[in-house]
Amino acid sequence: MAKKQKRSETTHSPGLFERFIKGIEIIGNKLPHPFWLFVTLALIVIALSYILSKAGVSVTYLAAARGGGEAKQTTVEVANLLSFEALRPFMANFVKTYVGFAPLGLIMTMMLGIGLVEQTGLISALMRKTIMGAPSYLVTAVLAIVGINANLASDAGIIFTPAIGAAVFKALGRNPWVGIIAGFAAASGGFTANFFIAGTDALLAGITESVTKGMNIAGPTHPLINWYFLIMATLTVTFVTTFVTERFTVKILGDTGGHKDESELLKHVVTPEENRGLRWALIATILCIAFLLVLTIPEGSFFRANDGSIVPKSPLLSSVVAILFFIFFFVGIAYGYGSGTIKEASDVPKLMQKGLQGSLSFLVVALPASLFINLFNTSNMATILSVRGAEWLQSMNLGGIPLILMFILLCSILNLFIMSGSAKWLILAPIFVPMFSIIGFSPALTQIAYRIGDSSSNIISPLSYYIPVIIGLLEQYKPEGNKQSVGIGTVISLEMPYTIAYLICFSIQLIIWYLLKLPLGPGAGLFM
């Protein structure tokens, strides 16, 4: 009876913002699972290829010759995917198309290494060590920087950061809701920032690589193509998260969570075994870096190109995935043996196996996604759409910066309806990477613009897998006497200032990068 009375008291006419959020939720819930989304897209491509080929749709453009030769006029027609010429190789190469899908090998290899680091407990211990050791006046900033880099652990980091934020803020006598909101903003909204290379970098770069190879587009596509930008973005997001938290979130929620509780802090203190593991991991990291430098710095060393260079092309850059895997592998084992989470050699493959479990859903989605991209490229519609789209963009005379900002905004809006970052990039990359390459944008620039739009609105998407978790945390740490109902609107309204600030500051950083023509990563410039 009491519940019914409470509902009637809180019933109110929904405002414009609530109706907007509800509309996004309804539309998004009607979208199929990414597996069926790509099946549907593949069928649409097949049907369109038949119709457009019969209509004689084609495009003529100046195509750059390989090896720096003179550009020649090239005419491309839509290929009928229902013809024998298209269906026979499609069926014959069915397995090859899936197994050769660039993101598949990259993400599996990276997750084997990262999974070992995560499953041994290294990431959790390192995050707690960092936050628990910070002065109280720097806790917000430290929580932000830890949350941003927590995407190294993918989903686990997004869930762990707001949880530890709530516990630490409560223990320090601050409002735990502030810690939850700030932690979620940094970990999820800060996905386009990191000091380290994460599985996301390998996954998105793999998708970009599959498009550039299929369309013969020049430019590096290794997992480090956005790394320089990501390092600076980590500092940007740390400052923005701290500023928004202390200037806005604290004023909205208040910051009186009670008295400082040392016993609560002790629950999250790093154990002596974990400390020993962290020391061993640090030693292993130093040894790995030293070994890498020995193989890279001297003239004529293993990782240098034949001409002695390192960028834009060298064995170092082409071996990035292998290097990262071995670093994660040895550091994870060092921590595991030091902390006691690895007791015998057989524990290592078991932990690596657990680390792969989070990637199983991608293995399933990658099948129709790889076939969709293959069909899209084979039909030549990607080329025709890219040329026509590039001509339209050039006719608008927008210039580089307005065009980039429009693309960022588009990606941010799409993120409200399709949460999976890889699923969206699998759809957008075959269209925009070649389209933007025609007007001179490198694959690295197109990818980072996508990542900015995608990550900024993660925290306000009603379809986010993590919003129910955040709602649960807010309910768990609700102050006594607070009768406010907690729902999806609560989370979105509190996270909205972060989304706006991230979009603005990320975009400003990219504009500065663009104007100064700074490299986005090793050997990865802004332009073709």
Q: What is the pLDDT of residues 338-361, one digit of tens each?
A: 999 999 999 999 998 887 776 777
237 alpha carbon, distance to own chain's centre: 15
For residue 408 the two structure tokens come to 């960022």
Give me the numbers of helices (H) and strands (E) for the chain, helices first please: 25, 2
| DSSP code of residue 317 | H
H or E segment at 72? strand 72-77
Tens digit of pLDDT per residue, the chain (528 long)? Answer: 444 444 344 445 666 655 665 665 566 556 677 788 889 889 999 999 999 999 998 877 655 444 434 446 778 889 999 999 999 999 999 999 998 877 677 678 877 887 788 788 887 787 778 777 667 668 888 888 888 887 765 566 777 788 878 877 887 778 888 989 999 999 888 777 888 777 778 788 888 888 888 778 888 888 889 999 999 999 999 999 999 998 888 888 887 655 555 666 666 788 899 999 999 999 999 999 999 999 999 888 898 888 887 766 778 877 877 887 898 899 999 999 999 999 999 999 999 888 777 677 778 888 988 898 889 888 988 777 767 766 676 667 676 888 899 889 888 887 877 767 777 888 788 888 888 888 889 999 999 999 999 888 888 887 676 777 788 888 887 776 666 677 777 888 888 889 999 999 999 999 999 999 999 998 888 987
pLDDT score for 331: 92
Place of tokens 């292998």: 322
Give the Cα separation of 223 and 148 in Å (integer).
18
Query: Pick from 170, 168, 234, 247: which is nearest to 196 by CA?
Result: 234
pLDDT score for 122: 84
63 by DSSP, 3-state: which? strand
The residues facing 255 across adjacent strands are none
Phi-psi region of 435 (alpha: psi -120 to 50; beta: other; left: phi over 0): alpha
- Note whether 385 and 61 are within 8 A (CB): no
Query: Pick from 385, 310, 437: which is nearest to 48 by CA?
Result: 385
Residue 469, exposed/middle/buried by CB under 10 A (0-12, 13-18, 19+)?
A: middle
For residue 378 the two structure tokens come to 């084979």
Q: How long is the chain?
A: 528
pTM of the model: 0.71
440 by DSSP, 3-state: which? coil
Query: Pick from 242, 165, 226: which is nearest to 191 by CA?
Result: 226
Residue 59, exposed/middle/buried by CB under 10 A (0-12, 13-18, 19+)?
A: middle
Query: Peptide bond preceding 497: is omega within 30 degrees of 0, i.e. cis?
Result: no
